[in-house]
Structure 1
């Protein structure tokens, strides 16, 4: 798989929560470092996602926001 996105993080699926139309998938890329993605249920099924299987979290964004407490 080749993508133009440079921010690709290989990891393991640790959780899958299917909703009515959207599935939330958690991918752990390092101990304690987890990305959560919201994808369509159809995409989750087509990808064959399952807890314990390898996956790649791909981040492609034109903006990144930073916040601090208080």
Structure 2
């Protein structure tokens, strides 16, 4: 995985809450929790679930999720 973003923080998914179209994904990054709003489709495609390793990718004011 190669990204132009320079702020890539590895953590563990601690909560996934799906709404009608958008999910809130919380990642613990060493005691701090980062929350990202992503589509339910992206949540499913990334197979995000509690306990899975994921990355908070921060570029400007957006937070994206990446997995390897």
TM-score tier, shorter chain, comes to: 0.7 to 0.9
Per-residue CA deviations over 1:20-43 (Å, capped at 9, x if unaligned) read 000000000112x01000000000
Which structure carries more strand by proportion?
2
Instruction: Give me the CA root mean square deviation.
Output: 0.9
Q: Structure 1: give runs of 5+ residues left out of the alignment.
A: 63-70
TM-score, reference length from structure 1: 0.84
Give the paired residue count.
61
Give the number of the structure whose alpha-carbon radius of gyration is greater: 1
Q: 2:53 maps to what in 1?
A: 54
TM-score, reference length from structure 2: 0.87
Q: Structure 2: give runs of 5+ residues left out of the alignment.
A: 62-68
Runs of 4 or more consecutive aligned structure 1 residues displaced over 3 Å after TM superposition: none
1:10, CA displacement in angstroms? 0.1
